[in-house]
A and B are shown apart, each in its own frame.
Chain A
Amino acid sequence: MGLRDYVIRRLILIVPTFFLISLIWFALIHLAPGDPVQAMVAGHPVDRELMEQLRRELGLDQPLPVQYGIWVSRLLTGNLGYSYISKETVWNLISYRIPYTLEVMLVGEFLSLIIAIVLGVIAAVKNGSLVDASCSVGAIFGYSLPNFWAALMALMIFSRWLGWLPSSGPQTPGMEFSSPFAALADHLQHLILPISIILLTWTAYLFRIVRSSMLDVLRQDYVTTARAKGLRERIVIYKHALRNALLPVVTYEGYALGFMLGGEAVLESIFAWPGLGSFMVDSARNRDYTSLMGLGSIIAIIVLVANLSADIAYALVDPRIRYD
């Protein structure tokens, strides 16, 4: 089976996998005690009849398989439903938040990739040196760091004590009305803290992979051959060794998306960032079923596509892969 068949087979498999995921997600959400109606009336004395009426209106009194079927049929027409809590369509809520999550995630991923590759190559080439040792220790440190605690400490130090950086939200209120340039500068200032925290953990993780992959590659025979041929060391490293060493990095970058989406949930809550992660946390708290289903679906699709892209990229780049 060649590459094309492999890709087609994986693409076709995405559909049933997605529905399986949505089914399990649906079950998990609805198995929780309490429901949106309870969350909606929380604190207010409301009689049971009204609650039951609300449930009927929202279709929450139907048996679960029926509810799931209704959700699927709506999904197929592109309708993600209404959020119980905010009375907006789920799609509006999600599409408003996607750019915020993406900008932190993509910029963070991109930056950490660059830093990790640079440092990883240096550390591998100068294996055993002080640079290597300190980077490796730093990497373990960054990898073990609880990201939400790092966020809290950074918030405390840089925002509350030193006042250098703003503490919450993507923008200072009122900045929308000033010049685009000033608004952008303000937004960038707000971006610094969240991205730095992501950088800390993700760079550490990638660095270890780049370094160990590079070390493996540098031990290979073809590298020795290249050196024996008299090629300059720099060409040996960058043109021959690095290209092969980056293969596992490509795969991990694909899986990075799933990992980051999760990590962001906490970070977004701490920095009051209006992204998908904080939306997930709030929806779970409020038992906002429709939003949770919509979110779960979007995330599942993103992750499935990202995983597939990572696998395809890996298969394209490494001719040794067998497709089965």
Chain B
Amino acid sequence: MERQSQANSERKTEEEFFKPSRATRVFIIWRKLRKSKLAVAGLGIVLFMSAIALLAPIIAPYGPEWSGAPSRAPPSMDYIFGTDAAGRDMLSLVMYGARNSLLVGFGAVFIEIVIATSLGMTAGYFGGLLDEIIMRITDVFLTLPTTPLLIVAICMFSARGIFVMIFLMGVLGWPFMCRVVRSEFLSLRESTYVEAARSLGATRLRIIVRHILPNILSVIIVLATMDIPWYIFYEATLTYLGFGDPRSASWGVLLEKGYLYMQSAWWMITFPGLALLFTSLGFNIFGDGLRDALDVKAR
């Protein structure tokens, strides 16, 4: 009896000894990430744009509704990015636009993660008919090209607004991640250490939660980071084509309105677009670095 309890406590100590704690794992990943200057730059850009989005009401030089400036004035000391047709400062508009765009990006990705992970794990875990059904549905969405699908889908909503966008993108974007989650789940299920855990008598739930889920998490995080710029891009595209909310301050709206003044007021489309490009760059670079640091082979 004593020998058994001694063996038990020994096993526990071994586990604690060999398995790095969560904090250590994060630290290791952070160290790998730091090695790539590009990845750090990407993270810097992401944090910078997020800060601008969050702090826009505080740091924007003029309020979003304020329109006391001369209409269509070129960039100057007072109005660094120039003004638009209604006399609003472009710099402030771009800052407030960051709020919309980043909100859409993060919100849509959140919905996407929730749906894709649950459906993907379900498909992988249960297999059989449920798996087939889910896979056929993802097939349908992956076959149709995204922009036309989004256009047709957004016409479904008579209300236009940012939450419609978030909902729509999340709901139409999950198929790809779902497939990846499912295939990762399936391949991880066959891996050696899961086999070992099973032979040690671990319950299926424990295997899923403690072994499979953390590895799927890396894939999900990388995929999510690379998807955010796409959602921001699609939101801008849809709004530019006129299917968005013309009253919001997103970058797409700025581009839509600026298009008319392309010849006379180049700053009206240049700066929102540059902001879009800059944000996308940040997320993509960071996502690349994250993928290398987490050593993810998917995609």
Contacts and interface: CB of A to CB of B under 8 A. Distances in A.
Contacts of B21: none
B158 interface: yes
Interface string B279-291: 0110111001000
Interface of A: 17, 20-21, 24-25, 28-29, 31-34, 137, 140-141, 143-146, 148-149, 152-153, 155-156, 160, 258-263, 265-266, 269, 277, 280-281, 284-285, 287, 292, 295-296, 299-300, 303-304, 307
Contact of B147 (A32, A149, A265, A285): A265
Contacts of B262: 152, 155-156, 160
A299 B148 contact: yes
B187 interface: no
A265 B284 contact: no
A300 B144 contact: yes
A60 to B, nearest CB: 16
A146 B283 CA distance: 13
B111 interface: no
| Interface majority SS (helix, strand, loop, mixed), chain B | helix
B163 interface: no
Contacts of B240: 148, 266
Nearest to A284: B151
A17 B143 contact: yes
B234 to A, nearest CB: 10
A137 B285 CA distance: 9
A147 to B, nearest CB: 8
| Interface majority SS (helix, strand, loop, mixed), chain A | helix
A96 to B, nearest CB: 18
A146 B277 contact: yes
Contacts of A137: 38
A21 B140 contact: yes
Counting chain A CB atoms within 10 Å of each CB, the highest count among B152, B158, B233, B288 belongs to: B152
Given A17-B140, A153-B273, A266-B241, 11 more contacts: A20-B136, A32-B155, A146-B237, A149-B277, A265-B151, A281-B241, A284-B152, A296-B152, A299-B144, A299-B148, A300-B143
B277 A140 contact: no
A32 B136 contact: no
Q: How large is the interface on B (under 10, 10 to 19, 20 to 34, 35 or more residues)?
A: 35 or more
Contacts of A146: 233, 236-237, 273, 276-277, 280
Counting chain A CB atoms within 10 Å of each CB, the highest count among B147, B156, B233, B277 belongs to: B147
B145 A303 contact: yes
Contacts of A265: 145, 147-148, 151, 241
B266 interface: yes
Interface of B: 38, 136, 139-140, 142-149, 151-153, 155-156, 158, 229, 233, 236-237, 240-243, 255, 259, 262-263, 266, 269-270, 273, 276-277, 280-281, 283-285, 288
Nearest to B282: A144
Contacts of B144: 21, 25, 258, 296, 299-300, 303
B284 A156 contact: no
16 contacts: A17-B139, A21-B143, A28-B156, A29-B155, A140-B285, A145-B277, A146-B276, A148-B255, A149-B273, A149-B276, A156-B263, A160-B262, A160-B263, A258-B144, A266-B241, A281-B241
Contact of A262 (B136, B146, B273): B146
Contacts of A258: 142-145
A47 to B, nearest CB: 23
A139 B242 CA distance: 30
Contacts of B152: 25, 28-29, 32, 284, 292, 296
Counting chain A CB atoms within 10 Å of each CB, the highest count among B143, B151, B283, B285 belongs to: B143
Nearest to A301: B143
Q: Closest 4 CB pairs between A and B?
A: A262-B145, A149-B273, A144-B280, A262-B147
Contacts of B145: 258-262, 265, 299, 303
A284 B263 CA distance: 29
Contacts of B283: 144
A258 to B, nearest CB: 5
A230 to B, nearest CB: 33
A177 to B, nearest CB: 29
Nearest to A262: B145
A144 B277 contact: yes
Nearest to A21: B140
Given A153-B270, A156-B269, A285-B242, A266 B153 contact: no
